Amino acid sequence: MGRVFVAGSINMDVVATAERHPKIGETVAGREVLYFPGGKGANQAVSAAKLGAPTTLIGRLGRDSFGQELKTFLAAQGIDVGFLQESADAHTGTAIITLANSDNTIVVIPGANGLLTPTDVSMPPLAPADIAVSQFEIPVTTVAAFFKRARASGATTILNPAPATLFCRELLDLVDVLILNEIELGVLTKTGLSDSDDIARFVDAARSLQAGGKPIICVTLGKRGVLALTDGQPLVIEGRAVRAVDTTGAGDCFVGAVAAQLAAGKSIGDALGYANVAASICVQRMGAAPSVPTATEVETAVVLTKKPNAVRP
Ligand code: RIB
């Protein structure tokens, strides 16, 4: 089995729950304030670790109480925290989240995440069976350095380009598997995609990012499931009908699950089906990192999902 290395952000999520989201300029009364470990990098590492992969997280925290709390939490999930560093010059990353009707808005203040350097990600040793995962809550130059190194080691790279940012072809050429949602796909392809669009529109947009059938592209479509372009062909995995209470971190749970499955030697098709089930469990719980299911929970749900759910449209 390979190891999953995640270079990414670690945040304390400060969540205000309310009956509905305020409009611009409006104040609404909330219900409660909750604190959850989060950050796209941390969530993805928690997912990979809980779903069975030996996992290392490379990141930066501030020298403050959020930082200490988050490090303790991550270590308790079985993650190797030996490559987490403390920055004296910045606070721990913080996300201000409003949650209403299971949907969120998020403002991220990067703090120490913005100080993760190419040198930081050059330290851990990577091997050919390993999976290198990253996102855009750390500097893009650091992501590029991490993937160059991963490629040189023969490892597989997974990029989750979130929050959506335009980036150069040179970086995309370092990516083996690109996992993004429909909003991010719309930004990267400069098309106005919406979640109710025909699958064919997503296929066309995803294809426009490929060169010679690469990278594998996987578009998460919320309750509609997942669309992937593997071997140049579209593959649709139906969403599972569940009652969502909080979708925060579901995409990260998906990314970590794909990484863990690939590290275990599974095919991309199997990995995507498994990750789809993992994310469907995640949305039924509050919080980002704490809502990731265990491998046993996912396996039980996979058995209960009787009909085959992957089809070539
Ligand atoms: O993807 C969800 C995450 O985005 C949250 O945990 C928050 O920290 C932001 O980074």
DSSP characters for 7-54? E---EEEEEEEESSPPPTT----EEEEEEEEE-HHHHHHHHHHHTT--
Q: Summarize the confidence of residues 265-271 as an average pLDDT.
A: 96
Res 307 pLDDT > 60 = no
Q: What local confidence, expressed as pLDDT, does residue 310 receive?
A: 62
pLDDT digits (tens, 9 = 90+) for 82-93: 999 999 999 999
Res 25 pLDDT > 80 = yes
Domains and CATH numbers, the chain: 4-8+39-90+113-311 (3.40.1190.20)
Q: What local confidence, expressed as pLDDT, does residue 305 receive?
A: 73
| Distance in angstroms (rounded) separating the CA atoms of residues 307 and 189 | 34
**Mean of the per-residue pLDDT values for the chain?**
95
Sort residue 182 into left (φ over 0), alpha (ψ -120 to 50) or beta. alpha
> What amino acid positions are annotated as catalytic residues?
252
Q: Distances from the Cα of 86 to the Cαs of 68, 83, 111, 132, in angstroms?
A: 9, 10, 11, 22
**Which tokens sit at 82?**
């030996």
Res 304 pLDDT > 90 = no
Kindly report the protein residue whose alpha carbon is nearest to atom 10 of ligand 1. Answer: 39
pLDDT digits (tens, 9 = 90+) for 103-160: 899 999 999 999 999 999 999 999 999 999 999 999 999 999 999 999 999 999 999 9
Ligand 1, closest atom to CA 289? 6
Mutate which of 91, 98, 106 for ligand 1 pocket (most atoms within 8 A of beta carbon): 106
Give the pLDDT band (50/70/90) at residue 306. Answer: low
Q: Summarize the confidence of residues 217-228 as an average pLDDT.
A: 95
Per cent of the chain over pLDDT 70 is 97
| Distance in angstroms (rounded) separating the CA atoms of residues 313 and 308 | 14
Residue 144 half-sphere exposure toward CB, CA atoms < 13 A: 10
Q: 215 in helix, strand or coil?
A: coil
Q: What local confidence, expressed as pLDDT, does residue 195 receive?
A: 80
Res 175 pLDDT > 90 = yes
Give the pLDDT band (50/70/90) at residue 311. Answer: low
pLDDT digits (tens, 9 = 90+) for 35-60: 999 999 999 999 999 999 999 999 99
Kindly report the protein residue whose alpha carbon is nearest to atom 9 of ligand 1. Answer: 39
Between residues 171 and 196, the one the model is more confident about: 171
Q: Summarize the confidence of residues 242-266 as an average pLDDT.
A: 97
Helix 250-263 / helix 268-282 crossing angle, nearest 10 deg = 150
Q: List, chain by chain if needed, residues with CB within 6 Å of any ligand 1 atom.
A: 9, 11, 13, 38-40, 43, 95, 106, 108, 137, 248-249, 251-252, 288
Res 194 pLDDT > 90 = no
Res 240 pLDDT > 70 = yes
Query: Mean pLDDT lowest for which of 11-25, 44-58, 229-243?
Result: 229-243
| Distance in angstroms (rounded) separating the CA atoms of residues 283 and 179 | 18
Ligand 1, closest atom to CA 137? 10
